C-alpha cells in the first residue's frame, strides 16, 4: 500500500468509538483500517464521541490497547457536546492535536544509530532443582522501554528474566534466569551499548550452594542462609565510560532520597524512581515515576502507560546526554 509507505505519521481526527474498536482489534474492512495495518510509523488518534460512549468500558479498553501499542491519544475536551450532553467527548483543539503530532514527529527515529542495552523482568534464584526465590516483576516496564527504543530507530538488546510477555519484533532478546546469568549477558553486550537501562528487578540475595536434589519436607522449621548477588548496576557504574547509564529504584518510601542515593552510589546518569506496592509498579500497565538526573534535577512523570513513561525516559535521556556533553565541553 503506497500511501502507508509514503507518509511519516498517521493522524486520525476525529477518531470515532467504532474506529478505535476496529484499530484495537486489527479489522481492515475499509481504506482507513487497511492503511492503519499497513502503516509502520507513529500514530496519533484524537477521539470525539458522546460522553457515555467515551466513558464506556469497551471504549476505554480499546484505548488502553492502543496506548500500549505506543499510539498517542489526544484526550477529548470536556464541555457541551453536539448530542446535547456535557462532559468529555469533544474533539481536542487543533493546536493541541498539532502539538501531539509535532512531539511524535520529533521522536520519530531520534534513536537511530544508537545501541541500547535494556534489562527487564525478575530473576529466579534456585533453592533446589524445583524451588526458587523471585519477585513480582512482570517485565512490562523493561519491554515498554525496548518497544519504545526500537520504534524510535535504536538497535535494542534486551536481557530478560523469565516473563509471560510475547517476544518483541525487531528486538534482540537474550533470556536469562539468575542474577549471575543476567550479569554475564549484560557484561557480554556492554561494549556495543551507547545507552544502558537497568529496569530488571534483580534478586539481591541467592543461595550460595544449591543442593543437587530436591529438599525433602519435614516437620522441622527451615531457615535459609542467603548470600548477596552481584550488584550489576554498581559494576556498570564502574565501567560506564561515556555511555549513558540509567538505573531504576523500586522503593516503598523516601523515593526521591533513595533515587538520588542510588544515582550517586552507582555512578548513574539517571535513576528512574518508582514506588512499588500492591497496586503500583510491579505488574501494572501504568507507572508513575521520578527521574533523578546527574545534573541534580528531579523530573516527576505523572501516572501514564508504561510505554508513555518509556518514551518520556528516552526524551529526557537524550536531553540529559546533550546537557552533560555541553557541560563537559566548558
Instruction: Exactly one of 83, 297, 322, 327 is catalytic; name it.
Output: 83
Instruction: Compare residues 62 and 137 and give the one whose CB is closer to ligand PMT.
Output: 137
**Polymer length of the chain:** 330
Alpha-carbon distance of 271 to 242, in angstroms, equals 17
Q: Do 12 and 47 contact (CB within 8 A), yes or no? A: no
Q: Do 201 and 125 contact (CB within 8 A), yes or no? A: no
CA distances 64 to 31, 61, 68, 109, Å, are: 24, 5, 6, 24
Alpha-carbon distance of 127 to 223, in angstroms, equals 12
Alpha-carbon distance of 163 to 165, in angstroms, equals 6
Instruction: Compare residues 198 and 243 and give the one whose CB is closer to ligand PMT.
Output: 198
Q: Is 94 helix (H, G, I), strand (E, B) or coil?
A: helix
Give every CB contact of residue 283 below 8 A, 6+ residues apart in sequence.
Answer: 136, 137, 138, 140
CB of 144 to ligand PMT, least distance (A): 8
Instruction: Compare residues 70 and 281 and give the one whose CB is closer to ligand PMT.
Output: 281
- From first CA to last CA, the distance across the chain in angstroms is 50
CB of 228 to ligand PMT, least distance (A): 8
> Is 268 noted as a catalytic residue in this protein?
no
CB of 57 to ligand PMT, least distance (A): 23
Instruction: Compare residues 89 and 139 and give the one whose CB is closer to ligand PMT.
Output: 139
Q: b/e map of 134-154 (b: 16 or more CB within 10 Å)?
A: ebebbbbbbbbbbbbbbbbeb
Instruction: Compare residues 98 and 265 and give the one whose CB is closer to ligand PMT.
Output: 265
CB of 309 to ligand PMT, least distance (A): 9
Binding site for ligand PMT (CB under 6 A): 119, 121, 137-142, 179, 198-202, 204, 229, 231-233, 247-250, 262, 274, 276, 281-283
Active site residues per annotation: 83
Amino acid at each position: 500500500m503506497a500511501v502507508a509507505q509514503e507518509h511519516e505519521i498517521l493522524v486520525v481526527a476525529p477518531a470515532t468509538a467504532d474506529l478505535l474498536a476496529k484499530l484495537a482489534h486489527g479489522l481492515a474492512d475499509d481504506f482507513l483500517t487497511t492503511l492503519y495495518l499497513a502503516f509502520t510509523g507513529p500514530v496519533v488518534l484524537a477521539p470525539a464521541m458522546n460522553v457515555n460512549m467515551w466513558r464506556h468500558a469497551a471504549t476505554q479498553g480499546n484505548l488502553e490497547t492502543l496506548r500500549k501499542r505506543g499510539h498517542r491519544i489526544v484526550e477529548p475536551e470536556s464541555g457541551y457536546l453536539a448530542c446535547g450532553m456535557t462532559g468529555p467527548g469533544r474533539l481536542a483543539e487543533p493546536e493541541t492535536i498539532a502539538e501531539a503530532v509535532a512531539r511524535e514527529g520529533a521522536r520519530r527515529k531520534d534513536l537511530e544509530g544508537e545501541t541500547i542495552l535494556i534489562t527487564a523482568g525478575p530473576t529466579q534464584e534456585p533453592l533446589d532443582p524445583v524451588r526458587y526465590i523471585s519477585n513480582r516483576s512482570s517485565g512490562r516496564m523493561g519491554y515498554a522501554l525496548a518497544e519504545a527504543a526500537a520504534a524510535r530507530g535504536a538497535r535494542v538488546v534486551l536481557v530478560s528474566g523469565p516473563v509471560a510477555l510475547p517476544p518483541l519484533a525487531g528486538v534482540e532478546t537474550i533470556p536469562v534466569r539468575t542474577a549471575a546469568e543476567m550479569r554475564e549477558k549484560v557484561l557480554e553486550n556492554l561494549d556495543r551499548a551507547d545507552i544502558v537501562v537497568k529496569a530488571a528487578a534483580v534478586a539481591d540475595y541467592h543461595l550460595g550452594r544449591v543442593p543437587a536434589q530436591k529438599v525433602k519436607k519435614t516437620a522441622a522449621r527451615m531457615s535459609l542462609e542467603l548470600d548477596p548477588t552481584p550488584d550489576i548496576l554498581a559494576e556498570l557504574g564502574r565501567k560506564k565510560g561515556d555511555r549513558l547509564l540509567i538505573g531504576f529504584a523500586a522503593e516503598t518510601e523516601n523515593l526521591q532520597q533513595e533515587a538520588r542515593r542510588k544515582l550517586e552510589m552507582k555512578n548513574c546518569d539517571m535513576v528512574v524512581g518508582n514506588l512499588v506496592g500492591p497496586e503500583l509498579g510491579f505488574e501494572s500497565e501504568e507507572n508513575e515515576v521520578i527521574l533523578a538526573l546527574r545534573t541534580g534535577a528531579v523530573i516527576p512523570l505523572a501516572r501514564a502507560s508504561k510505554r508513555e513513561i518509556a518514551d518520556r525516559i528516552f526524551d529526557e535521556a537524550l536531553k540529559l546526554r546533550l546537557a552533560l556533553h555541553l557541560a563537559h565541553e566548558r
